[in-house]
Chain A
């Protein structure tokens, strides 16, 4: 069974940093494009970043560009999100999501999410 497990969330002060990880299993991670999507408490879904299977092509939402960095380690079947200069508005559940090859950037499998709270 395809599994995505996020970790690394927690409470951080404004201006601080956090690194999220997403461990993938039961599929060929290295051939799939991956994304991060977040959801603020009680709010809708917001796509924030994409990375191609090779890691060469990367996109960001304007809301995180310049502050967040997506990366992956195909040898470790892992996806990462380095978050710097965190703001209160970054408080959300962060999901990693797989993009299936048969559909351009729909998200067919999601992790359970990890909560990031930015507060003093």
Chain B
């Protein structure tokens, strides 16, 4: 199975901060990397697919980059509604594994 490792596991940030989360795959997954946001008690929401494509209706402050094994999710200016847990997921091959999550908290 492909292991997905996110860093950091948690992060404190302030409104307006630029935040970057990284995701590393245990083997090359080309650009088959997706990012999700999850708020407590809610289903995950797709933010980025194909490593860098912004899902419809997702604010442009979210961006993704990377290919092969190393990927990043960047939030250019944190907004109050962005404090949540973020997961990466590889869709290169089954099982479609997720990272362990990164919890963004208010500083």
Residues of B near A106 (CB, < 8 A) are: 34, 46, 49-50, 89, 91
Please state if A111 and B43 are interface contacts (CB–CB under 8 Å): yes
A32 close to chain B: CB less than 8 A: no
Residues of A near B1 (CB, < 8 A) are: 62
A11 close to chain B: CB less than 8 A: no
Q: Which of A13-21, A39-47, A77-85 contacts B (4 or more CB under 8 A)?
A: A39-47
**How many interface residues does chain B have, given as a range?**
20 to 34
Please state if B87 and A103 are interface contacts (CB–CB under 8 Å): no
Please state if A110 and B44 are interface contacts (CB–CB under 8 Å): yes
Please state if B91 and A103 are interface contacts (CB–CB under 8 Å): yes
Please state if B32 and A104 are interface contacts (CB–CB under 8 Å): yes
Residues of B near A95 (CB, < 8 A) are: 43-44
Once A44-B100, A46-B98, A47-B96 are accepted as A-B contacts, the answer to whether A104 and B43 lie under 8 Å apart by CB is no
Residues of A near B97 (CB, < 8 A) are: 47
B80 close to chain A: CB less than 8 A: no
Please state if B53 and A103 are interface contacts (CB–CB under 8 Å): yes
Residues of A near B92 (CB, < 8 A) are: 104
Secondary structure at the B interface, as helix, strand, loop or mixed, is loop
Secondary structure at the A interface, as helix, strand, loop or mixed, is loop
Residues of B near A113 (CB, < 8 A) are: 43
In the bound complex, how far is the Cα of B100 from the Cα of A4, in angstroms?
Answer: 25
Please state if A45 and B94 are interface contacts (CB–CB under 8 Å): no
| B91 nearest CB neighbor, chain A only | A105
Once A103-B49, A106-B49 are accepted as A-B contacts, the answer to whether A45 and B98 lie under 8 Å apart by CB is yes
In the bound complex, how far is the Cα of B91 from the Cα of A59, in angstroms?
Answer: 13
**CB-defined interface of B33-74 with A at 8 Å, one 1/0 digit per residue?**
010101000011110011001010000000000000000000
7 A-B contacts (beta carbon < 8 Å): A45-B36, A46-B98, A47-B95, A50-B94, A95-B44, A103-B50, A105-B91
Q: A35-B96, A59-B95 are in contact. List 15 more A-B contacts (CB 8 A).
A: A44-B87, A45-B44, A45-B98, A45-B101, A47-B95, A50-B94, A61-B94, A62-B95, A104-B91, A104-B92, A105-B91, A106-B50, A106-B89, A108-B46, A110-B44
